[in-house]
């Protein structure tokens, strides 16, 4: 399903985002590690008696986050950016199916990201070898990096296949990434209105529930687990969840790209039947969130709970009015 002509078109249209992303992913870690090694070499003899240690745990969180950002940027440029420029009007006149177009875009994005990661892995490994350094989490980190970056890319390209403009694509991808955590938190907060003991910050039940939900949320892996939520073990158990998400998002993206009505470009969702259910979900989350927040901020006042619910409903309506039901201009 990969056509040479489509690959050439994709390369011409996305050349600069792909090149910049590849260069950063490929060379940032090796250069950073090499500079650390040269700095270590300049230390006194006392420090030289200690082996050079390269840890691939928390110190590479910036690299992971920026690599994910590049993956998201590529996906937005490939779908939302192309749609905004009106290029899809031309693509649909070519003798290629929508499925072939999606697969070709995905192949270009995946190859760029993976080739950069593989070369970074190779260069970093050579530096470790020649410096006789002791490494921590070297191999597991690059496996983790590959899966999580592809998950973020798949999520964003799927969001682009469902939405009609760049803003909608980015907002939808971010919302899906945090949705499990957000829904669980606002529901737990409102349960706490009925039973305050369940929502205390030291509550065993709340802690266990949030721990489980967070560990199954895309945002947890994008932020490298331990950076925001505590340490993560980089083993098979830590990889199967983002791997399943990656497969699911690619399937959703493919089906949406093939089936969605292209003539609704500029709308938030290409399929208008999604507008009302998503609006209802946004309003419910806003009502639950603001009602619970005002309740606990107003010394557990039930009147505050009702006021918060009204505020949440108004904000939810305004957000959906100016996002979901507002069409942006396209080329």
Rounded distance between C-alpha atoms, residue 263 and residue 253, angstroms? 18
Q: Return the pLDDT at 223.
A: 77
Tell me the CA distances in angstroms from 167 to 3, 156, 231, 282, 328, one per residue in order: 29, 12, 33, 17, 9
**Under 8 Å between Cβ of 184 and 213:** yes
**Under 8 Å between Cβ of 240 and 140:** no
Rounded distance between C-alpha atoms, residue 82 and residue 41, angstroms? 48
Each residue's pLDDT tens digit, 167-176: 999 999 999 9
Nearest CA among 269, 76, 272 for reference residue 166: 76
Rounded distance between C-alpha atoms, residue 235 and residue 316, angstroms? 40
Domain residue ranges of the chain, discontinuous segments joined by +: 4-165+229-259, 271-331
Which range has the top average pLDDT, 198-202, 274-278, 327-331? 274-278
Q: Render 95-108 in DSSP notation, one character per residue.
A: S--HHHHHHHHHHH
What is the rounded average pLDDT for all residues in the chain? 84
Q: Return the pLDDT at 94.
A: 85
Task: Assess whether pLDDT exceeds 70 at residue 48.
Answer: no
**Under 8 Å between Cβ of 220 and 214:** yes
User: For residue 187, what are its two tokens?
Assistant: 């529901």
Q: What is the rounded average pLDDT of the residues 221-228?
A: 60
Task: Assess whether pLDDT exceeds 70 at residue 206.
Answer: no
Q: What is the rounded average pLDDT of the residues 52-65?
A: 74
Which residues, 6+ apart, have CB-to-CB distance to 320 below 8 Å? 278, 279, 282, 283
φ, ψ of residue 16 in degrees (nearest 5):
-70, -45
Please indicate whether residue 298 or residue 224 has the higher confidence score (pLDDT): 298
- CA angle 202–207–209, rounded 5-degree value: 150
**Under 8 Å between Cβ of 199 and 192:** yes
**Under 8 Å between Cβ of 109 and 71:** yes
Q: What is the rounded average pLDDT of the residues 95-104?
A: 92
Which residues, 6+ apart, have CB-to-CB distance to 305 below 8 Å? 193, 291, 292, 294, 295
Q: Return the pLDDT at 239.
A: 79
* pTM, full prediction: 0.90
Counting residues of the chain whose pLDDT is more than 90, the rounded percentage is 44
Q: What is the rounded average pLDDT of the residues 314-318?
A: 95
Task: Assess whether pLDDT exceeds 70 at residue 224.
Answer: no
Q: Is 53 exposed, middle or buried (0-12, 13-18, 19+ CB in 10 A)?
A: exposed
């Amino acid at each position: 399903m990969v056509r040479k002509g489509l690959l050439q078109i994709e390369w011409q249209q996305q050349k600069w985002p792909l090149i910049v992303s590849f260069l950063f992913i490929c060379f940032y870690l090796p250069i950073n590690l090499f500079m650390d090694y040269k700095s270590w070499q300049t230390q006194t003899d006392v420090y030289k008696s200690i082996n050079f240690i390269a840890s691939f745990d928390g110190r590479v969180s910036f690299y992971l986050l920026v690599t994910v950002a590049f993956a998201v940027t590529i996906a937005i440029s490939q779908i939302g950016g192309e749609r905004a420029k009106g290029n899809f009007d031309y693509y649909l006149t070519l003798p290629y199916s929508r499925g072939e177009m999606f697969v070709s875009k995905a192949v270009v994005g995946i190859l760029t990201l993976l080739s950069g990661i593989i070369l970074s892995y190779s260069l970093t490994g050579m530096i470790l070898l020649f410096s006789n350094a002791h490494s921590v989490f070297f191999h597991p980190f690059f496996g983790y990096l590959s899966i999580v970056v592809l998950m973020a890319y798949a999520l964003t390209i799927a969001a682009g296949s469902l939405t009609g403009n760049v803003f909608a694509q980015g907002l939808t991808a971010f919302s899906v990434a945090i949705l499990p955590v957000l829904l669980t938190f606002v529901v737990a907060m409102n349960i706490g209105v009925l039973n305050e003991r369940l929502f205390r910050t030291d509550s065993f039940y709340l802690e266990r529930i949030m721990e489980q939900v967070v560990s199954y949320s895309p945002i947890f892996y994008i932020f490298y687990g331990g950076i925001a939520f505590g340490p993560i073990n980089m083993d098979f158990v830590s990889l199967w969840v983002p791997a399943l998400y990656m497969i699911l998002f690619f399937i959703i993206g493919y089906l949406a790209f093939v089936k969605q009505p292209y003539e609704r470009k500029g709308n938030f969702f290409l399929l208008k039947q999604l507008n009302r259910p998503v609006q209802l979900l946004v309003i419910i989350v806003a009502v639950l969130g603001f009602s619970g927040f005002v309740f606990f901020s107003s010394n557990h006042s039930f009147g505050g709970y009702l006021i918060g619910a009204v505020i949440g409903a108004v904000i939810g309506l305004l957000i959906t009015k100016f996002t979901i039901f507002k069409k942006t201009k396209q080329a």
